[in-house]
Amino acid sequence: MSEDLWTPHAPSNPEASIPGEGGGGGEAAPGSVTLIIPTFNEAGNIAELLSRLAGSLPARLPCEVLFVDDSTDDTPAVIEKAALDLPFRVCVLHRERAVGGLGGAVVEGLKLAGTDWIVVMDADLQHPPHLVPELVGEGERTGADLVVASRYIPGGSRAGLAGSHRIAVSRGATWLAKGLFPRALRGISDPMSGFFALRRPAATADALKPLGYKILLELAVRCRPAKVAEVPFVFQDRYSGESKSGAREGLRFLAHLAALRSATPLARMIGFGLIGLSGFVPNLFALWLLTHAGVHYLPAEIAANQAGVLWNFVLIETLLFRDRRRHRHWADRVGRFALLANADLLLRIPLIALFVARLGMEVLPATALALVTTFVLRFAATEALVYLPRGTRTARTGRTTRS
């Protein structure tokens, strides 16, 4: 992935800029802030956003703004023009490939930030810039590691959500996330918020594997900040352009939830089992189609089993092992998965015979034990032989700095 990091200009007030760039190292000025703003074709919002930030950030607050840009329009050029004569430093990291979506853009920003605090907000002005000092101030007052701007506490509002459909989707996503992660999201009333402040030590960028734009959920679940505070905010109307959310982002959100929920081996095993059970539906449907078409039941059974195997493979790829797919070609993964799934059938019958003959078990208990045994073995073999964890690889990125 080619990346280009540059600073449009030197700030007109050098004392307000933060010396050096982070990557998590170096000494940060007390209370210093990096404001990370992920952008994708937001040219129409940039000038107004920076103008409002200039009017909202107190001169005593050491601050820099980092745009992590995935745009295909002229957003970077607009940032360069709008950044003239601002009292804080403005930087742009342009990514050639939008890996991880807007969440991935925030993670790239976290790797570069060298300040005490990091504030994440959108570029469309639905997140009011005047709340940036309040978020940081609340963290300083309370000792919180994470301060969330919430629409769902007294004083907050989701007024900027256009239409009852988006309101229902937002509320449903919030309930689903909190239901799946009650401990990690305790004290966070609005886990779908994209507006929050975070102490730099509270986030380990290498532990984050975002998918889509719900980066707060990713941070809360994987990094588990010790103390959380909230500040109410009124969600504003978009200043310019169109929302990037849609059905595709909704599907990515569901896949992200599944990946987070299956992060532990036990959770993955449970998910593996539930997906395996769901595979009976396409299996039986294919068997019904084939037998009604006049195919003999024995070849029909074999072919129908492959329909269930394919169903299971797609769901396991999408929901359980999304982040472990790049080390093997997809055809290699399909072949290995199918081999293991069909070997399960060949192993089960000898196991049943062994349990009955050697252990003196009845047929039904022996069958149940064989099912459990082959399931555990298949899960372990699938994880080890198809989805081996990728080794740590050093990303090779070319960065140039311009003044």
DSSP string of 55-103, one letter each residue: HHS-TTS-EEEEEEE--SSSHHHHHHHHTTT-SSEEEEEEESS-TTHHH
Q: Based on the domain organization, do 192 and 238 belong to the same domain?
A: yes
Beta bridge partners of 39: 69
Both 68 and 174 in one domain: the answer is: yes
Do 193 and 79 fall within a single domain?
A: yes
Based on the fold, state whether residues 228 and 274 are members of the same structural domain: no
Q: In what order do the strands lie in the sheet with 196-199?
A: 3-6, 89-95, 63-69, 33-39, 117-120, 196-199, 146-150, 228-232
Between CA 325 and CA 209, with CA 246 as vertex, the angle to 5 degrees is 30
pTM for the full predicted model: 0.67
**Mean pLDDT score across all residues of the chain:** 80
Instruction: Residue 8: give its domain's CATH number.
Output: 3.90.550.10
Q: Is residue 329 part of a domain?
A: yes
pLDDT computed for residue 11 by the predictor = 56
Q: Indicate whether 54 and 123 sit together in one domain.
A: yes
Which range is least confidently modeled, 11-15, 30-34, 130-134, 205-209? Answer: 11-15
Pairwise CA distance, residues 20 & 43, whole Å: 27
Which of the listed residues 210, 242, 274 is the one where a domain comes to its end?
Answer: 242
Q: Do the Cβ atoms of 244 and 166 come closer than 8 Å?
A: no
What would the pLDDT profile of 93-138 be if each residue is shown by its tens digit?
999 887 877 888 898 999 888 899 999 999 999 999 999 999 999 9
- Examine residue 183 and state whether it is found in any structural domain, yes or no: yes
- DSSP line for 112-142: H--SSEEEE--SSSSS-GGGHHHHHHHHHHH
| Res 397 pLDDT > 50 | no
| Among candidate residues 14, 118, 16, the one with its CA nearest the CA of residue 68 | 118
What are the strands, taking DSSP E only, across 140-195?
146-150
The reply to whether 254 falls in a domain is no
Residues 215 and 347 in one domain: no
Which range scores top for mean pLDDT: 175-184, 193-202, 393-402? Answer: 193-202
Same domain, 238 and 277: no
- 222 with 97, same domain: the answer is yes
| Structural domain harbouring 352 | 265-385
Looking at per-residue pLDDT, the higher value among 78 and 210 belongs to 78
303, part of any domain: yes
Residue 26 has pLDDT above 70, yes or no: no
Q: pLDDT per residue over 232-257, tens digit each? A: 999 888 877 676 665 666 677 777 77
Say if 348 falls within a structural domain: yes
235 and 324 both lie in a single domain:
no
pLDDT one-digit tens code per residue, 32-73: 899 999 999 899 999 999 999 999 988 878 899 999 999 988
Q: Are residues 24 and 167 in the same domain?
A: yes
Question: CA–CA separation, 73 vs 81, rounded Å?
Answer: 15
Q: Given this model, what pLDDT does residue 245 score?
A: 61
Count of C-beta atoms within a 10 Å radius of residue 4: 17
Q: Which helix (H) or strand (E) holds 230?
A: strand 228-232
Q: Where are the alpha helices (DSSP H) in 181-245?
A: 215-223
Q: What is the pLDDT of residue 19?
A: 38
pLDDT mean over 354-365: 81
Q: Is residue 398 in some structural domain?
A: no
Write the CB contacts of 371 (distance below 8 Å, at least 6 apart in sequence). Answer: 348
Task: Answer yes or no: do 87 and 192 share one domain.
Answer: yes
Verify that 125 and 228 share a domain, yes or no: yes
Is 19 in a helix, a strand, or coil? coil
Give tens-digit pLDDT for 208-231. 776 666 788 888 888 888 899 999
Let me know: does 44 contact 239? Beta carbons within 8 Å.
yes
Q: Is 206 within a domain? A: yes
Number of domains comprising the chain: 2
For residue 27, what pLDDT is reported?
55
Distance, first Cα to last Cα, the chain: 22
R_g over Cα of the chain:
26
